[in-house]
């Protein structure tokens, strides 16, 4: 299957940490990604993690990968109002032609209140 699942909504206060969770289905996914979509805009790559890694840190962002449970999370430290957006988890899966394609989750809408 190609389902990538996320919770739909998360609300936090400014300065708190946010944790967005994702479960994916393809155990052979080589890369897993987090994209951010601001209102009226397309998606922008935030960060990614290679499947042989457990964790990746990039400034305020921490990505954790549990391959056994096919679980990916994105932690945003010191969340700011500017972080309010929709966050998409995505996995790369192999198609029959030998190419890879990105399958996106449903997106989690993060709302940061002052």
Partner 1 sequence: DAGVIQSPRHEVTEMGQEVTLRCKPISGHDYLFWYRQTMMRGLELLIYFNNNVPIDDSGMPEDRFSAKMPNASFSTLKIQPSEPRDSAVYFCASSLGTYTEAFFGQGTRLTVV
Instruction: Assign 107 to helix, strand or coil.
Output: coil
Using the minimum distance from each CB to partner 1, give the nearer residue, 25 or 48. Answer: 48
Min CB(33)–partner 1 separation in Å = 8
Indicate whether 97 belongs to the interface with partner 1 (CB under 8 A): yes
Indicate whether 81 belongs to the interface with partner 1 (CB under 8 A): no
Min CB(31)–partner 1 separation in Å = 6
Per-residue contact string for residues 29-68; x = within reach of partner 1 by CB under 8 A: -xx--------xxxxxx--x--------------------
How does DSSP classify residue 105?
Answer: -
Query: Is the CB of residue 44 less than 8 Å from the CB of residue 35?
Result: yes
- Each as own residue / partner, the long-range contacts of residues 39-42 (CB below 8 Å, 24 or more positions apart, any chain) are 39/85
Min CB(17)–partner 1 separation in Å = 25
E strand residue ranges, the chain:
5-6, 9-13, 18-23, 31-37, 43-50, 55-58, 61-66, 71-76, 85-94, 100-104, 108-113
Indicate whether 105 belongs to the interface with partner 1 (CB under 8 A): yes
Indicate whether 27 belongs to the interface with partner 1 (CB under 8 A): no
């Amino acid at each position: 299957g190609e389902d990538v699942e996320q919770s739909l909504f998360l609300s936090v206060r400014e300065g708190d940490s946010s944790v967005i969770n994702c479960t994916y289905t393809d155990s052979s996914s080589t890369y897993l990604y987090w994209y951010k979509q601001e209102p009226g805009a397309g998606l922008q790559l935030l960060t990614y993690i290679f499947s042989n890694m457990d964790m990746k840190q990039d400034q305020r962002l921490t990505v954790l990968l549990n391959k056994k449970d096919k679980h990916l999370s994105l932690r945003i430290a010191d969340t700011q109002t500017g972080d309010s957006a929709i966050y998409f988890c995505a996995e790369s899966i192999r198609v029959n032609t030998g190419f890879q394609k990105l399958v996106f989750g449903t997106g989690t809408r993060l709302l940061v209140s002052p």
